Chains A and B, each alone.
Chain A
Amino acid sequence: MLNQKDILSTIEMIDQQHLDIRTITMGISLLSCCDPDPVRACEKIYEKITRSAERLVRTGEDIEREFGIPIVNKRISVTPMALVAGASETEDYVPFALALDRAAKTCGVNFIGGYSALVQKGMTKADEKLIRSIPEALDRTELVCSSVNVGSTKAGINMDAVALMGRIIKATADATADRDGLGCAKLVVFCNAVEDNPFMAGAFHGVGEAERVINVGVSGPGVVHHALQAVKGQPFDVVAETVKKTAFRVTRMGQLVAQEASRRLDTPFGIVDLSLAPTPAIGDSVARILEEMGLETCGTHGTTAALALLNDAVKKGGVMASSSVGGLSGAFIPVSEDEGMIAAARAGTLCLDKLEAMTCVCSVGLDMIAVPGDTPAETISAIIADEAAIGMVNCKTTAVRLLPAPGKTVGDTIEMGGLLGSAPVMPVHPESSADFIARGGRIPAPMHSLKN
């Protein structure tokens, strides 16, 4: 029998500590929509998505109501669009993005991911056409998210793609300059991208996945923070155990919701992503967890070690609570989406170099970081290359989602609103990386990629 204390503690987690399910994401394969006629292909894409995800939002809301747990986002991920659009005889891929946007609006979801290309080893003509269309696609759509995988531990880093993505990010910022360069918040550059990630903007439905699948991303920085407040001053062993126990509970709830959604939507359950995803709300911050461990401000010395412990304990606690763990699974450190990170960046304690170090020990990478609008494309490419190198060598996913803020410089802030939050513009090194990026070619895969 349940006891009163447990029941009330769950309610307190939901009411006061921002416990929620961050996203239910339905992955849909679009491989069956390939067609030489681009108009027909777009029709098939729209039809398949709207038919497959017709009940997604309503079902999410039903579960939310019955279990009394907020499900913040309902989303869709699709097959990387370059693979689908590549079959069509056309130079213009923007209509494919428009079809995704229309379908997402019809379904009522708040984002659709998969306007993507996987170019870690080389670019097909379709990949290149898709990448070059990203600025216009993100300008003309509202809900479409785009991602490009430029490297992997197996393939190395495609430096031609890295160079191109620097220019594409700048062009996307310029295309959406009237909205503070908002387009870049929907564009991620990956190394070792995963095929079952439910989180935006990097979600896509991998080619190794089934026809349809339900993936769930949990959250809960506020709950972890609250739990750690009860063990002030105690050794790290205690901290790790506390985080594990909390992550276990949070993940069990994610597993329950995932199974329920899978059953009601008659769609196979894919994975639960054990990520601590912050929001800009007070009390829902990963940075504040690190500070709770004894750091005056996130970004000071000790931050990387604190994050390493947190990231590992979240996984260890969560892994037993779910029948299938996947996606990115770890702590996220998106600057603009985390109230504590925003404060630390504003104070100047948290800088780009420290964030890069932090990405060595947590999931994902340099995320939602505003940089000056006049940052050269080559500098952005070099930042991507550094981040991809960390991912490649450490066999982990890394990503870059930079926001060059048009017309803004260090000291300014860009406001995106909602879950995307606001970001203080952070300085980048002024010294040039142009000759480095101009080389092109490929950085070979590391020795330990040769495992066979």
Chain B
Amino acid sequence: MNAIVTVVGQDRVGIIAAVCTKLAGYHVNILDISQTILQGSFTMVMAVDVGAASAPFGELQSALAALGEEMGLSIRIQREEIFNAMHTI
């Protein structure tokens, strides 16, 4: 099952490293990363495969949100279907 991780907030050293380490810890495979600075904000979108994740989706979500809080960022993970439904026919 694929999901989308989005990270938005103030740029700083080590964001990608921290998020990737957290994901690796849960055995989540990263399929694609795109990152940019949008209107001064660090913005990263990752496509990930959570099929082999070592924890349920809810737990992974809480862990990422907690990491976000620690780093002053908004980090969320959502199932990919919602974006497909809204933006593709």
With A8-B43, A8-B45, A11-B6 already in contact, the answer to whether A65 and B83 are too (CB < 8 A) is no
Task: Choose one: A7, A62, A255; the contact of B83 (CB below 8 Å).
Answer: A7
Contacts of B88 in A (CB 8 A): 2
Q: Return B73 CB to nearest CB of chain A, in Å.
A: 13
- Give chain A interface residues in 228-271, CB to chain B under 8 Å: 249, 252-253, 255-256
B42 in the interface (beta carbon within 8 A): no
A4 in the interface (beta carbon within 8 A): yes
- Give chain B interface residues in 42-77, CB to chain A under 8 Å: 43, 45, 47, 57-58, 61, 76-77
Task: Choose one: B36, B43, B86; the contact of A252 (CB below 8 Å).
Answer: B86
- A7–B6 touching, CB < 8 Å: yes
Contacts of B4 in A (CB 8 A): 2, 7
Q: Of all chain B residues, which has the CB nearest A62?
A: B58
Complex Cα gap A256–B85 (Å): 7
Q: Number of residues in A with C-beta < 8 Å to the partner?
A: 19
- Give chain A interface residues in 1-33, CB to chain B under 8 Å: 1-2, 4, 6-8, 10-11
- A1–B83 touching, CB < 8 Å: no
- A65–B43 touching, CB < 8 Å: no
With A11-B6, A65-B58 already in contact, the answer to whether A255 and B78 are too (CB < 8 A) is no
Interface residues of A (CB under 8 A from B): 1-2, 4, 6-8, 10-11, 62, 65-69, 249, 252-253, 255-256
Main secondary structure on chain A at its contact with chain B? helix
Complex Cα gap A256–B88 (Å): 13
Contacts of A65 in B (CB 8 A): 57-58, 61
Q: Return A317 CB to nearest CB of chain B, in Å.
A: 13
Contacts of B36 in A (CB 8 A): 4
With A2-B47, A8-B45 already in contact, the answer to whether A68 and B78 are too (CB < 8 A) is yes
Extra 14 A-B pairs, beta carbons < 8 Å, given A8-B6, A68-B76, A253-B86:
A1-B32, A2-B47, A6-B86, A6-B87, A7-B45, A8-B45, A10-B82, A10-B83, A65-B58, A66-B79, A67-B78, A68-B77, A249-B86, A252-B86
Contacts of A10 in B (CB 8 A): 82-83, 86-87
Please, could you name 27 A-B residue pairs with CB atoms under 8 Å apart, sorted by A? Answer: A1-B32, A2-B4, A2-B47, A2-B88, A4-B34, A4-B36, A4-B43, A6-B86, A7-B4, A7-B83, A8-B43, A10-B83, A11-B76, A65-B57, A66-B78, A67-B79, A67-B82, A68-B77, A69-B78, A69-B82, A249-B87, A252-B86, A253-B82, A255-B85, A256-B81, A256-B82, A256-B85
